[in-house]
Chains A and B, each alone.
Chain A
Amino acid sequence: MSKHPIDILSLGAGLLFTLFALGYLLVPGSMGLTLVIPVMLIALGVLGIVGAVIAQNRRKAELEQL
């Protein structure tokens, strides 16, 4: 398994789901249905956009190098 440039979507989604899972395991009372799902969707949406912009910039830089 080789190291690669940081994958922001994978990293962010991993962090998000890890925190949610820990929340459910440690303080289940604080995890409301109406909070968890919107937070997940918003966070994934933002991560997706940021990830796409970063990927586009990386690709542009790669093409300029050629």
Chain B
Amino acid sequence: MSETTINMTQPPPPPAAPRLLRRSSTDRIFGGVCGGLGRYWNVDPVVLRVVFGVSLLLGGFGLFAYLAMWLLVPDESAPPTARVSQSWGLRILGAGTAFIAAMIGLGLLFSDSIGGGGVLLGALLAGVVVWIVMSQRGGGSPAATPAAPAEPVGYAYGGDGGYTATTALPAPPVPPAPPRERSYLGLIGLFAAVAASGVAILLGGGATVVMAAALLALGVTMLVGGFYGRAKWLLVFAIPLLMLLAVVSQVERADLSAGQRVWEPTTAGETYSLTLGTVDVDFAQWQGAPVAGDEVTIDMGVGEVRVAAPRNWDVELVTTLDRADVRVDGERARGRTVAGEQVVTIPASSGTADGTLRLNVDMQAGEVIVRTGAPAVGEPTPEASEKTTKQDKKEKAA
């Protein structure tokens, strides 16, 4: 028993460096908020940038939330004791901006303004949460922890009859992660997108072409980023751009019109167009009663078509869309499908029909709401019956 080392105590854990929320000065695109949050939560900042990008679409919620954090979170030069920005001016501005963000957030929570999109948004957020959880890189960064001084943990029996303090063997040093090479690919792609949209404007392209050109530049850059450099943060720009492009292209194709309208067709063959909004269809001004083959058409982008069906008419509702609801007196109506069109026949609520009108609703997305029992319109006139006879004759001749 010459040299025996007895460990008296376990080595104490090194004191953890306080985790501070700071805006990053190295990993930043605008204010370093996402970079700082990413380091604080140990999450890839790209994920946070995508979340912020998507939340920009929520009535400006993301924009105000980002601005508030930019104003309130101190940068890396602030002393460790500082919890918020040093300047009172920034604190007040930041608190005001945070208040606006909170108001927008509450407005989103307690209104159905996002409607069916809420489910989609929920699914999206759930996906992001799963991604964040899976991309957690466990534990704090070892480089951030200052090396604890070696502490005596045991005693060695020395030959001179005394004990000398020993120290625990130092833990093998953790090799520092190689510094990531700074990639300029994303920045190049961003400016390429700006230039591409400029070229598209110069060549006389419409809004769709200009945005598609920018999107093409972003897409190709990210494609290159799959192999060289880093460019996936361009998603922050690409996702809102594609959403905007999809809407603008839709509006460009139809005539730009939006709002709440009332349409009162008077004769067969009339057509009404609306890009976005609500159309109330009222047949009160119709001349006489419709005869076989009479039809009117609504060309609609996105919205709601509300039809007041006269009590003395059969209305044959024909829609080209398969994803829109057709509701008759609050009940969802399932019509028959004929050549890709959905046909719902709404019989006259009075029991006997004085005429049948075909109502074509050509719609991208939305709802058709039919209310039956509207006041009777146009008793069959001798004119109308004459018209019918003429039409019959024509058909026979054909």
Contact = CB atoms under 8 A, between A and B. Distances in A.
Grouping DSSP codes into helix (H, G, I), strand (E, B) and loop, the B interface class, with mixed when no group exceeds half, is helix
A31 B232 CA distance: 24
B358 to A, nearest CB: 25
B205 to A, nearest CB: 9
Interface string B166-183: 000000000000000101
Contact of A14 (B137, B226, B243, B365): B226
A44 B239 contact: yes
B226 A6 contact: yes
A31 B226 contact: no
Interface string A14-25: 111111111011
Contacts of A59: 137
A61 interface: no
Interface in A1-50: 1-4, 6-22, 24-25, 28-29, 31-34, 36-38, 40-41, 44-45, 48-49
Interface string B111-147: 0000000001001100110110011010000000000
Contacts, number: 137
Contacts of A9: 232
Grouping DSSP codes into helix (H, G, I), strand (E, B) and loop, the A interface class, with mixed when no group exceeds half, is helix
Nearest to A40: B242
B124 A2 contact: no
Nearest to B323: A34
A7 B323 contact: no
A52 B208 contact: no
B124 A21 contact: no
A52 B249 CA distance: 33
Contacts of A55: 134-135
Contacts of B181: 1-2
B219 A21 contact: yes
Contacts of A40: 239, 242-243
A4 B227 contact: yes
Nearest to A37: B246
A21 B212 contact: yes
Contacts of B238: 13, 17
B216 A18 contact: yes
A29 B227 CA distance: 33
Nearest to B130: A49
B219 A20 contact: yes
Nearest to B238: A17
Contacts of B230: 7, 10
B287 interface: no
B267 interface: no
Contacts of A8: 226
A42 to B, nearest CB: 10
A23 to B, nearest CB: 8
A19 B181 CA distance: 29
A24 B247 CA distance: 12
A42 B50 CA distance: 15
Contact of B227 (A11, A38, A44): A11
B120 A3 contact: no
Contact of B216 (A3, A4, A22, A37): A22
Interface in B292-318: 302
Residue with the highest number of chain A CB atoms closer than 10 Å, among B219, B230, B365: B219
A24 B249 contact: yes
Nearest to A18: B219
B208 A18 contact: no
A15 B225 contact: no
A17 B364 CA distance: 23
Contact of A15 (B183, B219, B235): B219
6 contacts: A1-B228, A21-B213, A21-B215, A44-B239, A45-B127, A53-B134
Interface of B: 120, 123-124, 127-128, 130-131, 134-135, 137, 181, 183-185, 208-209, 211-213, 215-216, 218-232, 235, 238-239, 242-243, 245-247, 249-250, 253, 302, 323, 364-365
Given A4-B228, A10-B231, A49-B130, 17 more contacts: A1-B229, A13-B219, A13-B235, A14-B223, A15-B219, A17-B215, A17-B238, A20-B245, A24-B212, A24-B249, A25-B212, A28-B208, A34-B323, A36-B242, A40-B242, A48-B127, A48-B131
